[in-house]
Amino acid sequence: MSPEPSLVDLPDELLLQVMSHLTTSDILLLARTCRRLCGLLSDRSLWYEVDLRQSRLRARQLARLLRHLHNETRRVCVAGHVERGRPVRPPLLTARILTDIKARCESSLVDLRLERCLLNATECGWVDSHALLPLSKLASLQRLSLRHCRRLGGEIAYSSISCMLGFRELRALDVRRTQVA
């Protein structure tokens, strides 16, 4: 009696086609099941639109995953989580993470959503609002959501400079529930 066929019996091309219909969070869960699927996680085709809003990630995990972004990534979404109406361990987005996003997909990123995140650039000796500076240089960015991002706007002058001198293609900026709003 032959064993029943398994998902991992499929060739990589078909597995990637199946994975392309999953959310980023589901792909990350699937990649945890075996080494072969984990190996497919690095395929560029899975990183055109990245939505990590359903994944509970710490800054180090987020930084590791963002290494998969590339010059054709069009959308990146990251969000902290809420339990009982209160934020639970929001992702800490450091200047290094934001600069990595800029470096990896500067020419292609159209939609960037950072919701309920903690923006922090203090590791560089900058005030928190300087975290907007790397983002303001994203050439093709059309939509930026910073909804519920704590500490954004603590130094409004730097946020204003970022907005005035950068964000050339920006069509929508969502800063609801921040100090700026």
pLDDT in tens, 37-71: 999 999 999 999 999 888 877 778 888 898 999 99
Identify the CA nearest to 78 among candidates 115, 39, 119: 115
**Secondary structure tally for the chain: helices H, strands E:** 7, 9
* Phi then psi dihedrals of residue 108, to 5 deg: -120, -20
Strand extents, DSSP E, the chain: 49-51, 75-79, 81-83, 86-88, 92-94, 111-115, 118-120, 143-145, 172-174
Neighbour tally for 86: CB within 10 Å: 7
Cα(78)–Cα(28) distance, rounded to whole angstroms? 14
CATH architecture for segment(s) 1-43? Up-down Bundle (1.20)
What pLDDT band is residue 125 in, cutting at 50, 70 and 90?
very low
pLDDT winner (highest mean) among 27-41, 105-119, 143-157: 27-41
Rounded Cα–Cα distance for residues 52 and 181 (Å): 25
CATH 1.20.1280 placement within the chain: 1-43
> Are the beta carbons of 144 and 174 closer than 8 angstroms?
yes
What was the pLDDT predicted at 127? 32
Q: Which residue has the higher pLDDT, 137 or 51?
A: 51
124 or 75, greater pLDDT: 75
Of 87, 78, 50, 75, the closest CA to residue 177 belongs to 87
